[in-house]
Amino acid sequence: MQLPDSILTCIRALEEAGFQAYVVGGCVRDACLGLAPHDYDMCTSALPEETEAVFAGYRLVLAGKKHGTVGVVMDGEVVEITTFRTEGDYLDNRHPEWVEFVTDIEKDLARRDFTVNAMAYSPTRGFADPFGGREDLKNGILRAVGDPAKRFQEDSLRILRGVRFAVRFGFAVEENTLAAMDSQAHLMDNLARERVYDELCKLLPRMKATDLLEFAPVLCRVIPELKPMVGYDQKNRHHIHDLYTHTALVVHHCPNDLALRWAALLHDIGKPQVMILGEDGQAHYHGHAAVSAEMADGVLRRLKAPTALREQVVTLIAKHMMLPQPEKKYLRRHLGKLGAETMENLLTLQEADTHATGTTHDMELTLFSNVRAILSEIQAENTCLALKDLALNGHDLMALGYQGKAIGLELNRLLNLVLEEQCENTREALTAALEKET
Ligand code: ATP
Ligand code: MG
């Protein structure tokens, strides 16, 4: 395993002072998989104050010292070095009762969540891998360290972490670990919502449709609004999939944009509530976009999502049933109102939604390519789409003698003329249009 010079320097310094030192956790896992680790965590038998003494000549970050972590600034980057430790019982499914520093690395590895995350490596000592992490990596298996149910009872965030690692590396979750993910899922109710939200944000952009199906019990526990969709027969000739499978496919077909993926996941959550069965045996879902948008707002508020993301998601869901018209005036208006990014995301969501019905005809997909072509024409023309793009502004109108409300009214009237292609967006043409009116 290749290590950066800064890490080798740290390991050497600790070993020369008589301590054991390793890189540990995610970086060992990633390196064994042939992936470039995004950072290196270190662990050592040295107590925090001993680590501090070894690196006395360096700038140190001591914020985590109480928990055993000393940060050493090497080549402008902080290397985190944590003392081997074990943990006592967890009484609240979140925090250990006590933490104790130890000198045996195996004890430290035993407190870690999954075998593939419970490995350490040192250039002089080789691998410490007491739970068969390398073997599991080779076989593509995600397995909890020790008794899975007990480990998830200690900290139920591990369930979501487990889903994330399984999805990220395409690993199969070992049988007992998977069973415990489901049987202990209720413990995630005790987690801080922000932690759940953070994990979901790391997870969602990576999920394929099959992942959403496989881990439905876990997802439904943290977002109970998803549950009525599982196995829900849409009773509609345009849909061949149940509602949850359809949703999984929409997520799958959306690129890795966070807002888009959240919107895909929640875009139809209101459907079961608004369903009306027609006389022809077909189900109708009038108003489901608005109801889903409102429910999505509730889900994201509860998870304490940032306002900007929540608003984007709610907008996308609220508008997802309004299919665009392949027409310049219409699209120019919408581009002006929504902005290019939202417009693009909305199209992507709608296209994914159309695909995921399972009954898509080429004609429907042609609509999206036509709309995209017209949109790029509009953007290339660099035309006026909103008040801010108008060649006359409020100050100009004031100079022409307009006052108060009349300014806004006139500007909007001019914008409409331009959008309707009845007036060019130049000072002369707009001024002439003003005078025509007065
Ligand atoms: P990533 O590449 O996503 O950062 P990682 O494995 O480095 O993956 P971190 O959250 O950075 O994950 O944690 C570092 C290590 O600490 C993990 O590899 C694991 O050994 C341990 N760990 C982290 N969180 C937990 C937890 N909740 N329970 C047990 N061990 C954990
Ligand atoms: Mg990490």
- The pLDDT tens digits for 38-59 are 999 999 999 999 999 999 999 9
Is residue 128 a part of any domain in this protein?
yes
**Two tokens at 125?**
């000592």
Task: Name the residue at shortest CA distance from atom 18 of ligand 1.
Answer: 25
- Report the pLDDT value the prediction gives residue 418, as an integer from 0 to 100: 87
Q: Residue type for 21, please?
A: A
- Taking the model in full, what pTM does it have? 0.87
Q: Of 220, 146, 219, 218, give the one whose Cα is nearest residue 179.
A: 218
* Number of H-type helices and E-type strands within the chain: 22, 13
Report DSSP letters for 358-383, one per residue. Answer: S---HHHHHHHHHHHHHHHHHHHHT-
| Domain stop point among 109, 144, 179 | 144
Determine the average pLDDT of the residues in 6-30.
Answer: 97
Query: To 5 degrees, how large is the angle CA 153–CA 85–CA 35?
Result: 80
Determine the average pLDDT of the residues in 331-336.
Answer: 86
| Domain stop point among 117, 144, 171 | 144
- Report the pLDDT value the prediction gives residue 155, as an integer from 0 to 100: 94
**Are 7 and 31 found together in one domain?**
yes
Residue 117 CA to ligand 2 center (angstroms) comes to 10
- Report the pLDDT value the prediction gives residue 196, as an integer from 0 to 100: 98
Quick check: CB of 113 below 6 Å from ligand 1? Answer: yes
Is residue 237 a part of any domain in this protein?
yes
Provide the percentage of residues in the chain whose pLDDT is more than 70.
Answer: 98
Sequence-distant (6+) residues with CB within 8 A of 52 are 60, 62, 65, 70
- Report the pLDDT value the prediction gives residue 167, as an integer from 0 to 100: 97
- Report the pLDDT value the prediction gives residue 46, as an integer from 0 to 100: 98
Quick check: CB of 154 below 6 Å from ligand 1? Answer: no
- Report the pLDDT value the prediction gives residue 51, as an integer from 0 to 100: 98
pLDDT for residue 10 is more than 60: yes
Residue 26 CA to ligand 2 center (angstroms) comes to 5
pLDDT for residue 437 is more than 70: no
Quick check: CB of 117 below 6 Å from ligand 1? Answer: yes
Q: Of 333, 322, 246, give the one whose Cα is nearest residue 289.
A: 322
Q: Structural domain of residue 407, as residue ranges?
A: 387-437
Provide the pLDDT confidence category of residue 382 given band limits of 50, 70 and 90.
low
Residue 113 CA to ligand 1 center (angstroms) comes to 7
**Are 91 and 34 found together in one domain?**
yes
**Are 341 and 428 found together in one domain?**
no
- Report the pLDDT value the prediction gives residue 152, as an integer from 0 to 100: 97
Q: Is 172 strand, coil or helix?
A: strand
Is residue 198 a part of any domain in this protein?
no
Contact 111, 117 (CB under 8 A): no
- Report the pLDDT value the prediction gives residue 385, as an integer from 0 to 100: 75
